[in-house]
Chain A
C-alpha cells in the first residue's frame, strides 16, 4: 500500500500513514491538538492549517469549501475530517 508522511507540527510528531487516510483519524490517535465535532464536514471545528504539502491532500469538495468559507478559513486551511492524505504533508491546528 502507498505510504505518506504526515507531520503534526504542534506535537512534533511524524506518522507513516497509508495513503487515503483522513487526517483526523491519525491526529486523534497520536494526540495532536486538532479537535473535532461532527466528523462529517459540517461544523468546522476540525479546521487545520496546512503548513507544507498543500497539494498532497485530496481536493476539497464543494461542501468543504463552503464550510471553510463560513468559518472564515484562511489560506491553506482545511477540514481534518475531510482531507485525505495522498502524499507527504505537515499540519497544525488552525
Chain B
C-alpha cells in the first residue's frame, strides 16, 4: 500500500475514491488534472461501468505559458479546478485544447473560459458547428481557432501538434501530440471506463476487459476511420498515451496501438480460398412459428444460390444469440430478414437483432425483408423502413405472402432471391461508378 492511506485526510480511500484532489505528474511539465467518478454504473446509456470511470484532463507547461488539454464532466468541475490551480495560475493559460466536444470532456469548458478569458480555444476543423450547438451561442460570442493535421502550437520548448482523426467517435475528434515528451493526448481513443486512482496502466487493476469492451461499443462502428487514424499515430515516437478515460498508458503504449489495429482489421478468417472469384455474401435470417416464413426463406436462399459468385447463408434467428450474428453481418454484403406479422408487428428477436447492429457500420450494404402474414402484414414494411434507417440500400420491395405459401408463391420467392443476388452483384460491377446497364425508365407513380 504505497498510494493509499498515507495522508490523514484520505485515510483508506478505496482504489476508485478521490481523496484530496492533487495533480499527478505524468511527464516533464505535464500533469493529470482530471477527476474520478467511481459511482457511475452506466455511461451514455449504452455502456456498463462496473467500477465507474475517470475524466482525464491534462496541463502542459511551456516557457511561454500553459495548455489545458480537455476538461471534465460539469459535475466534476470542482476537483478539476482544484488540481489545475495547483499547477498553474489562470492568467498563465494560453491555450485550451478540446480533442472532441462531448460533454464528458467539455463540461467545465465555459467556466474555464470565464476564469482564463485570455486563453485561445483550439478545436478541430469539424468542431465549430458542434461548439455552437453545445454552448447555444452565436458565432460572434465565442472565439475559437480550428486546427488540422500538421498544425502546431509552440508553448516555448513544448510543442503541441494536432492529428485530425474524425469520427473516433464524434465527427469532430482529434488527437494532440506533445512532441518533446512524445505524449499522445488521444481523447477517447485508447480510453476505457475503469476508475482507479493508481492511474497508470502498470499500477491499476486488470482493465483488459474494460479496454476491449470500450473499443467494441465506441470505436467498432468506425473501423475505417480507426485505420485512417492509426496511419497518423503509428509513425509517432510514443512514450506515453494519455486518453480521456481510464488508465494512462505508459508501460509499452504501442501494445494498445497494435491492439487497435488488430481489432479494426478484416474478418477473423477469410471466408473462401484466395484463388476463387470475388464473392459477395448474402445472409438470410428468419423466424417462423408455423413454418411459412421458414419456407419462404429456403426458397429465397435457393433462388439466390443460382447467381454466380454470391455466397448465401441461411439462419433461423431462434437458433442463435445476436452477438455472433452481428459479427457475421458486419462482414457480409447483404442481409435479408424474414418475420411473420404477429400482433401488427415483426417479432421481437428481429428487432433485437436490428437494434444490436448499432455497433457495426452498415452503410451501403444491401437489405431486404420478407414474411408470411395473416391479414394485415405490417412486419415487412416495418423491417424495410428500419433497414433504410440503418443506412442499408433496399433495392427490392419486400416480399409478403398470405399464410401458407403455394407452389407459385414459392417460385416468386426463388425469383426474389435471384433478383436480390443480382442487385448485389450489380453493385460490385458498378463499383467504379460507371453504373450498370440502363434499366430503362419507370414512372414514380408505379413505385410502391
Contacts and interface: CB of A to CB of B under 8 A. Distances in A.
Interface of A: 5, 9-18, 21, 26, 28-33, 35-37, 45, 66, 70, 92-93
B395 A5 contact: no
- Which DSSP category, helix, strand, loop or mixed, fits chain B's interface? loop
B126 A10 contact: no
B363 interface: yes
Contacts of A31: 393-396, 423
A10 B437 CA distance: 10
Interface in B407-448: 423, 426-427, 430, 433, 435-444, 447-448
16 contacts: A10-B427, A10-B435, A11-B423, A11-B426, A11-B430, A12-B430, A12-B437, A12-B439, A15-B444, A16-B443, A26-B447, A31-B423, A32-B393, A35-B363, A35-B388, A35-B391
Given A9-B433, A30-B447, A16 B441 contact: yes
A18 B443 CA distance: 9
Contacts of A13: 438-440, 442
Given A12-B438, A92-B433, A70 B444 contact: no
A9 B396 CA distance: 17
Given A15-B443, A29-B447, 7 more contacts: A10-B435, A12-B430, A18-B444, A31-B396, A33-B427, A35-B392, A36-B391
B47 interface: no
Contacts of A29: 444, 447-448
A35 B430 contact: no
Interface of B: 126, 128-129, 363-364, 388, 391-396, 423, 426-427, 430, 433, 435-444, 447-448
Contacts of B129: 66, 70
Given A12-B435, A70-B126, A33 B441 contact: no
Nearest to B129: A70
A15 B442 contact: yes
Contacts of A93: 364
A76 to B, nearest CB: 14
A14 B441 contact: yes
B393 A33 contact: yes
Q: Which of B363, B391, B440, B444 has the most CB of A within 10 A?
A: B444
A15 B435 contact: no
Nearest to B166: A72
A19 to B, nearest CB: 11
Contacts of A11: 395, 423, 426, 430, 435-436, 439
